[in-house]
Structure 1
Amino acid sequence: MSEQLPSGGVELSPDEIEALHARWSSCWTPVEVARQLAGISTPWYVAAGWALDLFRGRQTRAHGDIEIAIPAAGFPEVRNRFPGYVFDAAGSGRIWENARPEVLAAVHQTWLRDPATDNYLLDVFREPHDGDTWICRRDEKVRLPYSDIIHRTRDGIPYLAPELVLLFKAKHARRKDQADFDATVPYMSPAQRVTLAELLARVHPGHPWLSDL
């Protein structure tokens, strides 16, 4: 996807960005998302903090939203599952309501909004890919089959492999990201830790998490 932001949209002030949190108060859980997307053909998986909780087998903290990721080409199938709702694109402190195709081509983050309440229910990342191969948006040379990166809970809910979740969290390493790293690494296999270390060394050389792996 292009790194150049499209025209239009609304630029949010810091106070407006903070106020957005309240609009996620009724967001869905992974169970509800799985129910909504049951039977679709495009690969999808829970991402970010919720994915780590699914990996560990229990909810360990409150989540302000829920994110899933899909191959970008699969977005129309996901969009068709939500008639009566709209998708807003978000990026770099801006929101494009009911985003047009040219906006979606440039911004990977998409928020499902209930127009009746204006609340957000689901954050959909539209990821780069080559057919059935996932491409890391932080380093396009990192490419893995979807069959390798998608894990499943006992109930069949798909989630992103923890080493990849932590790779994305490493960029900002906010307090919650550090807490997620500390709580997740003890549950990871030696092979998963090695993979995370290799990815961090490639994408974020010198990252402080490397010394803990």
Structure 2
Amino acid sequence: MTRIDTPWGPWEAAPLEEVVALMRGLAAPWWVAGGHALELTAGRAYREHADVDIALLRRDHLAARRLLTGWDVHAAIVPGTLRPWPVDEVLPGSAHDIWVREHPDGPWRFQLMLDESAEEEWIYRRDPRVRRPLTDLTIKRNGFRHVVPEVQLLYKSKIRRPKDEIDFETVLPLLDDGQRHWLAASLRTEHTTHPWLAHLPHTP
């Protein structure tokens, strides 16, 4: 894993298998997200990763925090800031990005990402018009779940960093027609226009 310096201390991501082993202690649903999820879709490693993202539903965030008792856990309540997240504190709706490390003097090891939901429906936090059943949000492989590629690409569409472009180019050929149409419709809902749409089917 690559070591990266940030204003809040260095990142040295834990191996994915170690984070998965830790998260198995959480009774609530969770899934691997980010670039690792897309590599799991591809079935091969194709780029380096600076972090490990684990997603879960906001309604389960207190259970996740209790699992991490003894860890140093910080939440981004306001974008661009971090502050400690005590056990049993209910986070405000503005918080969706959580950084985790073993102790305050160590590097950050992985992130928790909070997803929105209503009953049994996943809600895209950047545009609540984009929704889908929770049962269609993840794929189970190797004994754990990861987010489906079309949803992960939607999250990556906002900034379009070089690594996001690599992910899109690598994973797009692996999407079936239904996945491509869903991604196209979701991109048009959120962005109206987007460069990736040139490679996706037209969806009225």
TM-score band, normalised by shorter chain: 0.7 to 0.9
| Structure ranking higher on relative contact order (CA contacts 8 Å, 6+ apart) | 1
What is the deviation of 1:104? 4.5
| 1:106 aligned counterpart, secondary structure | coil
What is the deviation of 1:168? 0.9
Contact 2:154 2:186 in 1 (8 A): yes
What is the deviation of 1:105? 3.9
- 2:192 aligns to what? 205
- Tell me, in whole angstroms, the C-alpha distance in 1 between the residues paired with 2:103 and 2:111: 15
Task: State the identity as a percent.
Answer: 31
What is the deviation of 1:172? 0.8
> Counterparts of 1:152-167 in structure 2 under 5 Å?
152-153=140-141, 155-167=142-154
Letter of the structure 2 residue corresponding to residue 151 of structure 1: I
Residue from 25, 28, 51 that aligns with 2:14:
28
| 1:87 aligned counterpart, secondary structure | strand
- Tell me, in whole angstroms, the C-alpha distance in 2 between the residues paired with 1:76 and 1:150: 21
**Number of aligned pairs?**
195
Q: Deviating runs (4+, > 6 A) in structure 1?
A: none
- Tell me, in whole angstroms, the C-alpha distance in 1 between the residues paired with 2:84 and 2:26: 25
TM (normalized to structure 2)?
0.86
What is the deviation of 1:116? 5.5
Contact 1:89 1:104 in 2 (8 A): no
Once the two structures are overlaid, the 10-residue window that deviates more, 116-125 or 57-66, is 116-125
Residue from 82, 102, 110 that aligns with 1:95:
82
Establish whether residue 78 from structure 1 lines up as the match of residue 64 from structure 2. Answer: yes
- 1:8 aligns to what? none
- Tell me, in whole angstroms, the C-alpha distance in 1 between the residues paired with 2:66 and 2:90: 18
**Unpaired segments ≥5 residues, structure 1:** 1-16
Once the two structures are overlaid, the 10-residue window that deviates more, 108-117 or 189-198, is 108-117
- Tell me, in whole angstroms, the C-alpha distance in 2 between the residues paired with 1:93 and 1:208: 27
- 1:187 aligns to what? 174
> What is the alpha-carbon root mean square deviation over aligned residues?
2.1
- 2:112 aligns to what? 124
Establish whether residue 46 from structure 1 lines up as the match of residue 46 from structure 2. Answer: no
| 1:200 aligned counterpart, secondary structure | helix
The superposition leaves residues 139-192 of structure 1 with CA deviations (integer Å, 9 ceiling, x where unpaired) of 112222221111122x12211110011111111111111111001101111211
TM (normalized to structure 1)?
0.83
Once the two structures are overlaid, the 10-residue window that deviates more, 198-207 or 103-112, is 103-112
- 2:164 aligns to what? 177
The superposition leaves residues 91-113 of structure 1 with CA deviations (integer Å, 9 ceiling, x where unpaired) of 52211123583655431111112
- 2:95 aligns to what? 107
- Tell me, in whole angstroms, the C-alpha distance in 2 between the residues paired with 1:116 and 1:211: 45
Contact 2:138 2:145 in 1 (8 A): yes
Higher helix proportion, which one?
1
Contact 2:62 2:90 in 1 (8 A): no
Once the two structures are overlaid, the 10-residue window that deviates more, 28-37 or 176-185, is 28-37
- Tell me, in whole angstroms, the C-alpha distance in 2 between the residues paired with 1:33 and 1:146: 22
Contact 1:31 1:157 in 2 (8 A): no
Contact 1:67 1:122 in 2 (8 A): yes
